[in-house]
């Protein structure tokens, strides 16, 4: 039996029952538990399911955890968000992406700055509700349970009909050579649409992500106008990005 067959069978089982036990699968497919474990490990790495002790559960099943309160590397992200607010102008029209860094930006928007702000992200939209001078426009669509953002054709189409001054986006991976990449195809499509809808694109990215890459490409580094990390702009870690036509903050 081919590995792919097996993995499909596992995914099928997970989709059907929201959960599986390694031992059950092993018996059904007549392979060792170790093999199933390794399969599940791979599928987890590919974000197709979530591996747990004793088995696996579907991504939606666990989505409670998406409501996480603890933000990883909060301090760095706050620093990035603070720098980003420096780009904002009174009366501007911006887009804020999903992700914890962008959420931090939403949180730190100056309370007296008047803005029109588009977003796909439920948490960002929520955060923006607390800003009396920000007109919030949510771009609707199917909601991704993991990312808590609108995705799909509808969201893409809505994006195609707007043009913002600045978009602030995050990325899963960034590399000076390979550009911005993600492990999720849908997300890549969406980000492309966001970039297209922006006069200028600002990448918010903690330095930890620098020089990493994944499967699907969002855009080249040059498609970004400004890159903001928590580092000082002259930090050596940013050297590789200096050749490109981007501003580093």
Q: Which residues does 21 contact at the CB level (< 8 Å), separation at least 6?
A: 54, 55
**SS3 call for 93:** strand
Which listed residue (14, 20, 25, 55) binds DNA by CB under 7 A? 55
Closest C-alpha among 84, 40, 73 to residue 249: 84
The one of its own copies, DNA, none whose footprint includes residue 6, by CB under 5 to 8 A per kind, is DNA
Helices 185-196 and 152-159: crossing angle, nearest 10°? 20
Q: Residues 98, 149: contact at Cβ < 8 Å?
A: yes
Q: Does 63 bind its own copies (CB under 8 A)?
A: yes
Determine how many CB atoms are found less than 10 A away from the CB of residue 131: 19
Between 36 and 151, CB nearer to DNA: 36
Give the total of residues touching DNA (CB under 7 A).
Answer: 21
Contact 151, 186 (CB under 8 A): yes
Could you tell me the smallest distance in angstroms from the CB atom of residue 61 to its own copies? 5
CB of 14 to DNA, least distance (A): 14
Residue closest to 178 by CA, chosen among 141, 206, 149, 215? 215
- Asked if residue 100 binds its own copies (CB under 8 A), the reply is no
Q: Which stretch binds its own copies (CB under 8 A): 121-129, 172-180, 186-194, 234-242?
A: 121-129
Q: In whole angstroms, how close is the CB of 178 to its own copies at the nearest point?
A: 32
Q: Which CB atom, from 7 or from 226, has the smaller least distance to DNA?
A: 7
Of residues 12 and 142, the one with the C-beta less far from DNA:
12
Please give the residue ranges that form the binding site for DNA (CB under 7 A). 1-3, 6, 21-23, 31-35, 37-39, 41, 51-55
């Amino acid at each position: 039996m081919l590995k792919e067959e097996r993995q499909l069978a596992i995914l099928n089982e997970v989709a059907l029952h929201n959960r599986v036990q390694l031992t059950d699968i092993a018996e059904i497919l007549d392979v060792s538990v170790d093999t199933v474990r390794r399969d599940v490990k791979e599928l987890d790495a590919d974000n197709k399911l979530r591996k747990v002790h004793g088995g696996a559960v579907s991504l939606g099943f666990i989505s409670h955890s998406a409501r996480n309160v603890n933000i990883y590397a909060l301090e760095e992200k706050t620093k990035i968000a603070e720098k980003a607010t420096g780009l904002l102008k009174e009366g501007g029209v911006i887009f804020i992406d999903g992700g914890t860094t962008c959420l931090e930006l939403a949180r730190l928007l100056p309370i007296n700055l008047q803005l029109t702000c588009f977003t796909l992200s439920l948490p960002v939209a929520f955060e923006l509700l607390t800003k009396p001078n920000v007109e919030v426009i949510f771009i609707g669509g199917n909601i991704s349970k993991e990312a808590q953002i609108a995705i799909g054709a509808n969201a893409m189409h809505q994006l195609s009909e707007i043009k913002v001054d600045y978009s602030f986006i995050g990325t899963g991976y960034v590399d000076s050579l390979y550009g911005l990449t993600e492990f999720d195809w849908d997300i890549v499509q969406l980000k492309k649409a966001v970039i297209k809808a922006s006069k200028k694109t600002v990448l918010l990215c903690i330095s930890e992500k620098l020089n990493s890459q994944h499967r699907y490409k969002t855009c080249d580094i040059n498609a970004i106008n400004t890159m903001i990390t928590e580092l000082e702009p002259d930090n050596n870690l940013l050297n590789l990005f200096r050749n490109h036509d981007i501003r580093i903050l």
